[in-house]
């Protein structure tokens, strides 16, 4: 009796299998018990429905209602008039911080991957990036105010050296000041996104390019950057969504006077609104969801394209 005979004998002689049959010794074949694996996920789907899907549906229903004295839905009023400026301001800050963070973060990630010795340098840099990418809110605003505020440490040191930041128009609460603060967590986030992608570049590709006579510039122009392009643009979209949804840091820096959309939403949620205009807050939040959904959807598509090379 051969070692394969028990397996062969378990197969039907007529070669027919039912749709739910499982081939002995062959993993991954259909199993009738596969649906039971979804049972432990039911609490998760319940939480997603109760705390994400239903509130989002209710939000859009209220945003679709017109405000008092208007014939158009609040969704239309939220992107016109003074609120259009808030969206433009938020988009401009998000795009500027995302672009700056993507460029600097990509260059830093590229430099870190080339550091082989000492080994602790790379580990320390990755650990710092993980912490800095998740640091924000009031602590970050306080740190930058203490460093680059009107009487901040770095501001006074530069003034002692003859560089007057505030005399030249810089303000930590201005749009460019907020961009500088956002770069603190945008750059480390881009580093964390790009490190796996850069390390995924196979050494054989560079060797093959060198054998064919291509230099370093040609390798990056024809091989390296095209392969990394989905990861780069995906990271750029992730940084844009991260900055667009940020709230506490900008609010603390500007003492609540910022024109960012999240701060405007807070204004309505606190009840500081004219009677009958409450739906504008829901409309602003609905448009934020639309922008973030588009950005994150494109990011997921680009990430899937980038993973094909790994």
pLDDT at 66: 83
Residue 242 has pLDDT above 80, yes or no: yes
pLDDT at 11: 47
Q: How many domains does the chain have?
A: 1
Alpha carbons 143 and 146: distance in angstroms, whole number: 5
pLDDT at 135: 84
Q: For residue 201, give its domain range.
A: 74-307
| 18 backbone dihedrals φ, ψ, rounded to 5° | -75, 160
33 within a domain of the structure (yes/no)? no
pLDDT at 75: 86
Residue 108 has pLDDT above 50, yes or no: yes
Q: Kindly give, in sequence order, each residue whose CB lies less than 8 Å from that of residue 256, ignoring residues fewer than 6 positions away.
A: 263
Greater model confidence, 60 or 118:
60
pLDDT at 91: 92
User: Which CATH number goes with the domain that contains 269?
Assistant: 1.10.3720.10
121 within a domain of the structure (yes/no)? yes
228 within a domain of the structure (yes/no)? yes
Which pTM does this prediction carry? 0.80
Measured in Å, how far apart are the chain's first and last C-alpha atoms? 44
User: Which of 76-85, 177-186, 279-288 has the least mean pLDDT?
Assistant: 76-85
189 within a domain of the structure (yes/no)? yes
17 within a domain of the structure (yes/no)? no
Alpha carbons 169 and 152: distance in angstroms, whole number: 15
pLDDT at 274: 55
pLDDT at 294: 92
pLDDT at 272: 57
3-state secondary structure string across the chain: CCCCHHHHHCCCCCCCCCCCCCCCCCCCCCCHHHHHHHHHHHHHHHHHHHHHHHHHHHHHHHHCCECCCCCCEHHHHCCCCHHHHHHHHHHHHHHHHHHHHHHHHHHHHHHHHCCCCCHHHHHHHHHHHHHHCCCCCHHHHHHHHHHHCCCCHHHHHHHHCCCCCHHHCCCCCCHHHHHHHHHHHHHHHHHHHHHHHHHCCCHHHHHHHHHCCCCHHHHHHHHHHHHHHHHHHHHHHHHHHHHHCCCHHHHHHHCCCCCCHHHHHHHHHCCCCCCCCCHHHHHHHHHHHHHHHHHHHHHHHHHHHHHCCC
Greater model confidence, 275 or 35:
35
Alpha carbons 213 and 164: distance in angstroms, whole number: 52
67 within a domain of the structure (yes/no)? no
Q: pLDDT tens digits, residue range 171-228?
A: 888 888 899 999 999 999 999 999 988 988 888 888 888 888 888 888 888 888 888 9
299 within a domain of the structure (yes/no)? yes
Q: What is the mean pLDDT of the chain?
A: 82
Alpha carbons 254 and 260: distance in angstroms, whole number: 10
- The answer to whether 243 and 256 are in contact (CB under 8 A) is no
Please give the average per-residue pLDDT across 135-156, as a whole number: 88
pLDDT at 241: 92
Greater model confidence, 67 or 94:
94
- How large a percentage of the chain has pLDDT more than 90? 26
19 within a domain of the structure (yes/no)? no
Q: pLDDT tens digits, residue range 4-58?
A: 455 444 445 454 545 545 555 455 555 555 566 778 888 888 999 999 899 999 9
């Amino acid at each position: 009796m051969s070692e394969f005979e028990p397996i062969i004998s378990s197969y039907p002689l007529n070669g027919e299998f039912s749709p739910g049959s499982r081939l002995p010794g062959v993993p991954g074949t259909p199993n009738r018990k596969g649906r039971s694996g979804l049972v432990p996920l039911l609490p998760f789907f319940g939480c997603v429905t109760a705390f994400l899907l239903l509130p989002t549906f209710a939000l859009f229903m209220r945003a679709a209602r017109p405000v008092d004295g208007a014939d158009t839905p609040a969704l239309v009023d939220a992107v016109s008039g003074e609120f259009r400026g808030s969206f433009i301001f938020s988009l401009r800050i998000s795009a500027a911080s995302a672009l700056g963070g993507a460029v600097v973060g990509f260059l830093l990630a590229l430099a870190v991957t080339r550091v082989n010795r000492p080994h602790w340098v790379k580990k320390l840099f990755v650990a710092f990036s993980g912490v800095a990418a998740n640091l924000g809110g009031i602590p970050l605003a306080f740190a930058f105010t203490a460093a680059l505020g009107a009487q901040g440490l770095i501001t006074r040191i530069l003034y002692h050296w003859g560089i007057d930041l505030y005399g030249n128009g810089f303000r930590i609460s201005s749009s460019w000041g907020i961009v500088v603060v956002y770069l603190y967590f945008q750059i480390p986030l881009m580093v964390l996104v790009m490190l796996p992608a850069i390390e995924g570049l196979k050494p054989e590709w560079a060797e093959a390019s060198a054998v064919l006579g291509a230099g370093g510039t040609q390798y990056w122009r024809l091989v390296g950057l095209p392969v990394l392009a989905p990861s780069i643009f995906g990271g750029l979209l992730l940084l844009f969504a991260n900055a667009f949804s940020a709230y506490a840091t900008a609010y603390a820096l500007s003492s609540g006077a910022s024109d960012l959309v999240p701060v405007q939403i807070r204004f309505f949620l606190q009840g500081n609104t004219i009677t009958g205009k409450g739906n504008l807050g829901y409309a602003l939040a609905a448009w934020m969801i639309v922008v973030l959904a588009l950005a994150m959807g494109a990011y997921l598509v680009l990430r899937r394209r980038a993973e094909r090379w790994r």
